Structure formats: structure tokens, C-alpha cells
Structure 1
């Protein structure tokens, strides 16, 4: 009796929570080759004979039964392969979808952080610009104050210079008046000693008195000018 040995081994590997399945087993071509081998070992029937020498029917023979079972097993294996293929495709699609979701979330987080950084940078930029503008205004005000102060100092120096020149002129004028007064006083003294015309002497006295008033006035003005300069 010819014995057909069929060996099947199905091994499933599970990787991760998603489940990636791989099926290992005899291929269809290997099963077909074994079936052909069995046919060659069975005696050939000739003409219209439907039974073998042993009296068994080919349709009822163990080989035919085994071949039928083998085909059924092949169909089961094929169906399982199709199911596993669908599961694998679903797992792959789920992985791709999860990767897309994670990438989208990362991109959204990046966009959010980028927008926050831009807003923060813009606020800092505005603060710096406001501080610069405030400092520029302070500097402009300080420059204007310094300019006004310098102008005031220049004007004051000019006034002081003019006052000094005026005092100098009054001092010179006072000196001339004093000399003229001294000359008239000397002349009056000489005329008095010679007993000259009293009218002439009276005129000299009036001139001396007028000069003394002018000298006193100049002295008062000069004193006031010096006080102003000291102030």
C-alpha cells in the first residue's frame, strides 16, 4: 500500500500590539508534485475498466480520499492566507494612519510653538522699540536743554563782556572828569590867592560842582555795574 505523507506546519508570529502575522507551510506546487507522484505509483487502468486488480474503486481509493482532503486543506490554508493578508493590510493601514496622526500632531505642536515664539519675539521687539523711542526722546530733550543752556551762557558772556566794556569806559570817563576837576580846583586856588575876579571864581566853582556831581553819578553807576557782574 502506498502511503502519502503530508506535512503541514503553520507558524504565526506576533510582533507588537497591532499583530503582524506570517504563515509558513507547504506550497501549492509542493502539494501538486506529491499528488503527481502518488498517481504514478497507482496502477494504470485501461479501456473501460473502472476498478483496479485489488477490486478498489479509484473514486473510493485512499489516495483519492487523501487528495481530496489535501485539496480541502489547501483551500483552508488559502482562506487563512487571505484572512491573514487582510489582517496584515489592515495592520499596515492602521500603522500608517497612526504615523500620519502622530506626524500631524507633531506638526500642529510645532506650528503652535512657532506662533508663540513669533508672538513673543514681536512683543519683545515692540518693547525694545518703545524703550529706544523713549531714550531717543530723552536724549533729544537733553540735547535741547544743553543747547538752550549753552545759548544762555553765550548770551550771558556777551552781556558780561558788554558790561565790562561799559564799566571800563565809565572808569576812563571818571578819570578824565577827576583830572578836569583837579585842574579847575587848582586854577580856582590860584585865582583866589591872586584876588582875581570873583565872578570868574564863581564860574569855576560851579564847574567844579558840576564835575563833582558827574563823578559821583559815574561812581554810583560803576558800583552798580560791578555788583551786577559779581551777581
Structure 2
């Protein structure tokens, strides 16, 4: 039995393309894998706390030396890390805001990428002292953007700070393979946008099947 963790990051409750894509993915996944556990977190509606100086001090204080206040500051982080640790597949459904990720999603990332919990730090490794602790997970990105051409080699590739950022930090979530379905042309609202939506929905069954088979083979 696998665990599917779904993170919704859109600030919109209605008319959200990524929320709808996320629901479609979850429905098809659980239909194909009825025994799997499902964990859902809506950071778009209930963002995690932003980290601050006291949080950072607590995170870098050895666990057996933390005060009750420091332990309390890290309790939300502990819960979110536990969810990621349990997950076999992480689905992040998120729009692109100002060419990057929503602040709520960045807050979630910052609560999870934490020293001695999801990565270790050792200067004996030289110029690359950080090393992931978690491993073996797949990441599915369900994204949407107002413009178009954010893919590799396309016109706005260098303006895409959503997918590359998530790919970079995802290794500290234990991710070893990443898949993305992107809806484009949202601000244009034309036939290209409609076709992009249809293409994304049509790709979900194949992605579910591929990931399900991969997990079964590695079990």
C-alpha cells in the first residue's frame, strides 16, 4: 500500500484550474489504487506559518536542548515533515504567481526543508555539505500559468521560476523522479487555452498508470 500526499496551493477556491486537476488526479489514483492512503493539505486556504528568527534558532538547537517554546515552534514543521516522509507520491497542484510559486507553497517548503530532519549538513563533504535524508519518492506537478512558452527551449523558459525551483528543493523532500502537467494560456482564454486544459486532463490516466506500475515494481 502506497501513500499519496496532495498539496493544493491555489489561493482560489472556485475557478481554480490546478485544484480541479488535483481532484481529477486524486480520483483516478484512488480508483486505480483503492487500498492506498490519501493525505490532503490545502496550503492555499490555510498557509503554514512563515519561518522567522526564533524558528531558525529552534531548528538549529539540538533536539535534547530545546525549550518547550522551541519545540512548540517546530510542531507544525514536524507534522508536515511526517506527512512528506510517509508519502510515496507527492502531488503539488499550484498556479504560477508572478513567475514563481505562491507564498503559501514557499512557506510549506520552508517548514519542511530542515536541517537534521530532511537534510544533513557536513562540511567534510567540501563544497556540497547538504545531503537529502529522505528518498524514493515521486513528485507530480500540476501547474497553470497565464502566459505560455515556459518549457525547456521555449520563449519564456528563463522566466519560469516555479518548476525549476520546485525541482531543486524537491530532492530534500526525497523526490527522485518528477512529472509535470502544465496548463498554459490562461490569461488569453482562447482555443489554445482550451486545448491545453484538455491535453492535461487526457494525460492524467497515463501518468497514474505509469506511476502505479513503477511503485508496484519497486515494492
TM-score greater than 0.5 by the shorter chain: no
Please say which structure displays the higher CA radius of gyration. 1
- Report the TM-score, using the length of structure 2 for normalisation: 0.21
The structure that is helix-richer by fraction is: 1
Higher RCO, 1 vs 2 (CA within 8 Å, ≥6 residues apart): 2
The structure that is strand-richer by fraction is: 2
